[in-house]
Structures are given as structure tokens and as C-alpha cells.
């Protein structure tokens, strides 16, 4: 009853949103994602556009040998079976994204059924080497500047995550057809940052950004994040936008992630992740899915 009363008060005074209420709603959705994500699975399509150095061949004589070759655009498409699991070595039992590649640039690597079975083993097996093999397999296909865990970045707004974050209301703007409040946020510790793979190195950095929540009920709709730091005389920036939707199973899931790796103001790599609707499963010898039927639309009242 208290939650209902708070929601009614919130909706009646939409011009003065309550920051504690909004953060409580966001933390509630983060908790539901924490509980439900390890029981779900979907298909992820990654389209990567990256600027790569020109081919290694260069003329050894004449003026052509001194000409700097322009960067070339490389476009890749990776389709993977995607789920979320807990790392055994993590004392905090943090969740991480798990993937099994199904196809690369239209060429099938393995069947979806085999990929799902491998994911179920990765989620239930006590050996963390399975996860390491998954990451190596994902990188083996030539992708660069990969960022992971953006799809579940909502987890950073759990009650524990909010303890290491500064948040302030910063106005309003629409997200699609929904009016949304804008919350500026900044992490005070890199522990909750997104894990980024740049070349052969992995790192976490404290992030900042914006969180957009629906005005009618405080539901998180979009998370934007960015970080910037100097590296070898250059300014490196990573930014991402994650759009969430409500799944038929009652928890928020990512619909898309756009990640950009920028050097000195130029976009070097753009990763676009898209997700099919999430399905629930029980990870045992045979993966079984439980589909939820779409409820029928309510009948229109009869006019007299």
C-alpha cells in the first residue's frame, strides 16, 4: 500500500519528481534484472564498423613510398547466442555477459542448438576456463575495440551501485513516445564500470552519463555513458547508449546498444548490438524454453 501511495503522489505532482523515489524504482528494476537475467537467453547481432590501417604492402621506391595510406573501413557482422552468468572467482558474484558465436559475416560457425548447450555449460560449470574460452573465441574473429557488459549496465544502478554514484535530476526530454526525466550520474569508483577490450588489454574505468526514466512510473528507458582519458598523446573517448524494453517475463532487457570508440574526435570503431526478445530457460542437460503467450487485448466497452 505504501508503494501504491508513493506512486500516486508521484504521478499527481509530476512537475516536482522525487529523486529518492526515482532511484528506488531504478534499483528495483536492477534487482529484477539481477535475478532474471541468468535464467534467460537471446540472440545477439553485432555489426562492427572500424577504421583499420591500410594493407601492409607499400612500394619501396619513389614518392609513393612516402605517401601515408588512408584508413580503410572494415564492416563485420557477428551473430551469437547470448546469456548472462556469474563468475566463480568474483567475491561479489557479479554478473557478466556470455556469448557463443553462431555465424561470422553470414558464414555459420556452429548451430544455435550447440551454442545454447555451450552457454548452459558455461553458466552451470564450476570451471572459469569456460568463460575465458568464450572471450577468446569472440576475439578470434578479428573484432577490435570490443566493449562488453553494456547490455546489463542497468545493474550498476542497484542499491549497492548507487552508493558509489552521484546522481542529480537534470531536466526532461522524450524517449520515443514517452516523456522522461533526465538524471545525470557519475561513478566515484571504476569497480562498477563497463569492461572494455581495447587491443589485447582489458580495463574498467569510472563512467558518467545520463539515465532517462519514464515520467509516469520511473521505469528506466535509456542509459547513456561515456569516459575520456589520455593515451599515448591522444584523447580516447568511449561512449555508449543502451535502450531497454520491458520483456513479457516482467523484467527489463536490452533492445540495442550503440558503442563508439573515439580517438581525437574521430570515431574509430562503432559497435551496434541488437537483441531478439529474451526467452527463459532451465539450464540442464536439455535447454527448455518457457514461452509466455501474448495476453489478448481487452474488449472495448459497449456504448449504450
144-166 pLDDT, tens per residue? 777 778 899 999 999 999 999 99
- Local confidence band at 272 (pLDDT 50, 70, 90 cut-offs): very high
Whether residue 92 has pLDDT greater than 70: no
Cell of 275: 537483441
Q: How confident is the model at residue 183 (pLDDT cuts 50, 70, 90)?
A: very high
Give me 235's grid cell.
584523447
Indicate the pLDDT class of residue 301, thresholds 50, 70 and 90. very low
The pLDDT score that the predictor gives to residue 286 is 44
Query: Would the pLDDT of 168 be above 50?
Result: yes
pLDDT at residue 117 in the model: 77
Per-residue model confidence (pLDDT) at position 258: 96
- Whether pLDDT at 284 is above 50: no
Name the residue among 50, 255, 43, 42 with its Cα closest to residue 146: 50
What domains appear along the chain, each with residue ranges and CATH number?
Answer: 16-52+71-278 (2.50.20)
Percent of the chain with pLDDT over 90: 49
Count of C-beta atoms within a 10 Å radius of residue 212: 23
Using CA atoms, how far residue 134 sits from 146, 152, 299, in Å, is 14, 18, 48
List of residues 6+ apart from 41 with CB closer than 8 A: 81, 82, 83, 116, 119, 278, 279, 280, 281, 287, 289
pLDDT of 182 over the 90 cut? yes
Question: Which distant-in-sequence residues (6+ apart) come within 8 Å of 197 by Cβ?
Answer: 135, 139, 145, 146, 147, 148
Q: For residue range 228-269, what is the model confidence (pLDDT) as tens digits?
A: 988 889 999 999 999 999 999 999 999 999 999 999 999 999
Q: For residue range 29-77, what is the model confidence (pLDDT) as tens digits?
A: 999 999 999 889 999 999 999 888 776 555 555 555 555 567 888 899 9
| 122 — pLDDT class (breaks 50, 70, 90) | low
Mean pLDDT of 156-179: 95
Amino acid at each position: 500500500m505504501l508503494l501504491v501511495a508513493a506512486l500516486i503522489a508521484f504521478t499527481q505532482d509530476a512537475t516536482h519528481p522525487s529523486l529518492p523515489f526515482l532511484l528506488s524504482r531504478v534499483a528495483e528494476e536492477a534487482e529484477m534484472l539481477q535475478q532474471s537475467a541468468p535464467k534467460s537467453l537471446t540472440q545477439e547481432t553485432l555489426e562492427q564498423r572500424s577504421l583499420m590501417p591500410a594493407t601492409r604492402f607499400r612500394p619501396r621506391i619513389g614518392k609513393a613510398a612516402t605517401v601515408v595510406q588512408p584508413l580503410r573501413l572494415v564492416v563485420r557482422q557477428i551473430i551469437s547466442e547470448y546469456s548472462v552468468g556469474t563468475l566463480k572467482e568474483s567475491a561479489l558474484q557479479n554478473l557478466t555477459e556470455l556469448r557463443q558465436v553462431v555465424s561470422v559475416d553470414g558464414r555459420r560457425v556452429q548451430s544455435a542448438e550447440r551454442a545454447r548447450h555451450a552457454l548452459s555449460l558455461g553458466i552451470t560449470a564450476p570451471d572459469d576456463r569456460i568463460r575465458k574460452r568464450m572471450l577468446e573465441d569472440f576475439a578470434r574473429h578479428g573484432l577490435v575495440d570490443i566493449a562488453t557488459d553494456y547490455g546489463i549496465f542497468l545493474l550498476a544502478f542497484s542499491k549497492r551501485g548507487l552508493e558509489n554514484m552521484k546522481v542529480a535530476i537534470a531536466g526532461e526530454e522524450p524517449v520515443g513516445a514517452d516523456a522522461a526525466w533526465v538524471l545525470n550520474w557519475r561513478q566515484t569508483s571504476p569497480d562498477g564500470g563497463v569492461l572494455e577490450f581495447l587491443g589485447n588489454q582489458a580495463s574498467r574505468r569510472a563512467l558518467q552519463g545520463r539515465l532517462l526514466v519514464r515520467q509516469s512510473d520511473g521505469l528506466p528507458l535509456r542509459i547513456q555513458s561515456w569516459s575520456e582519458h589520455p593515451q599515448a598523446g591522444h584523447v580516447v573517448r568511449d561512449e555508449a547508449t543502451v535502450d531497454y524494453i520491458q520483456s513479457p517475463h516482467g523484467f527489463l532487457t536490452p533492445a540495442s546498444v550503440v558503442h563508439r570508440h573515439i580517438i581525437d574526435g574521430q570515431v574509430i570503431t562503432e559497435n551496434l548490438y541488437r537483441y531478439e526478445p529474451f526467452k527463459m530457460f532451465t539450464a540442464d542437460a536439455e535447454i527448455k524454453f518457457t514461452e509466455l503467450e501474448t495476453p489478448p487485448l481487452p474488449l472495448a466497452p459497449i456504448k449504450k
